[in-house]
Amino acid sequence: EPEVTQTPSHQVTQMGQEVILRCVPISNHLYFYWYRQILGQKVEFLVSFYNNEISEKSEIFDDQFSVERPDGSNFTLKIRSTKLEDSAMYFCASSPGQGFWGYTFGSGTRLTVV
Amino acid sequence: AQRVTQPEKLLSVFKGAPVELKCNYSYSGSPELFWYVQYSRQRLQLLLRHISRESIKGFTADLNKGETSFHLKKPFAQEEDSAMYYCALSGRNTGNQFYFGTGTSLTVIP
């Protein structure tokens, strides 16, 4: 069964540093997403991406965040200057179309900002 | 505004006992409701969606629009059901994104 792959599984970074979280969506999927889950809280939508541009973003997705699909297979989330409150589990997801059939989550990257 | 509420953070039941994980939602319109499961250190996996009216691993969930609920039920819990369960909502008003509840951690005691 096809999977969404995320690397690394755990990343520790110092406050103020830039971090890039990587995702390889399922190959024939066209829509890509990032979600975040702060420990003990709900999974929250960050951003969706389609046709090489952001299609929707939440209030959480401010100027310190950016997304990119640099090479047609990877989908990255960059956090420019990390803060302690950015510590969370970050989930990537992809879907073949606009509906929810085939919407698949990755196993997540745990980001710890120290 | 859309919201998903899972009132129980933790739920423990004995093996073979019935289990019900509660989910209530707030949404103006016709929502699509889902249950996701996350086993220890693994990815979020779709367990079931209301529109499919299916039973997966013995779990069922009925959308009750009057009570705005989508409780997850299983008549006989198994040890392998121990996991984190998330109720999620989506629909035309939310774009192509999910709104999740805070999750319920289910422990099945042998």
* Cα–Cα nearest to B54, from B33, B38, B69, B40: B33
Q: What local confidence, expressed as pLDDT, does residue B91 receive?
A: 79
Q: What local confidence, expressed as pLDDT, does residue A60 receive?
A: 94
pLDDT tens per residue, range B12-24: 999 999 999 999 9
Q: Which residues of A touch B4 (CB under 8 A)?
A: 42
The per-residue pLDDT of chain A, averaged, comes to 93
Task: Report the residue from B34, B42, B96 with minimal CB separation from A107.
Answer: B42
Q: What local confidence, expressed as pLDDT, does residue B98 receive?
A: 87
CB contact under 8 A, A48 and B96: yes
CB contact under 8 A, B96 and A95: yes
Residue A84: φ, ψ to 5° = -55, -35
pLDDT tens per residue, range A26-55: 998 999 999 999 988 889 999 999 999 999
Q: Which residues of B touch A98 (CB under 8 A)?
A: 96
Portion of chain A with pLDDT greater than 90, in percent? 81
Q: What local confidence, expressed as pLDDT, does residue A6 receive?
A: 96
Task: Report the residue from A31, A91, A95 with minimal CB separation from B44.
Answer: A91
From CA B28, how far away is CA B13, in angstroms rounded? 34
Higher pLDDT pick, A85 / B98 = A85
Mutate to test the interface with B, among A35, A41, A43, A89 (most CBs of B within 10 A): A43
**Residue A98: which pLDDT band, with cuts at 50, 70 and 90?**
confident
- pLDDT value at A22 more than 90: yes
- pLDDT value at A84 more than 90: yes
Return the beta strands (E) in A1-114 as ranges: 5-7, 10-13, 19-24, 31-37, 43-50, 53-57, 65-68, 75-79, 88-95, 104-105, 109-113
Consecutive 10-residue runs of chain B (110 residues): their mean pLDDT?
A: 91 97 91 89 84 82 92 96 94 78 95
CB contact under 8 A, B86 and A103: no
CB contact under 8 A, B102 and A42: yes
CB contact under 8 A, B95 and A55: yes
Q: Which residues of A touch B85 (CB under 8 A)?
A: none
CB pairs A-B closer than 8 Å: 50
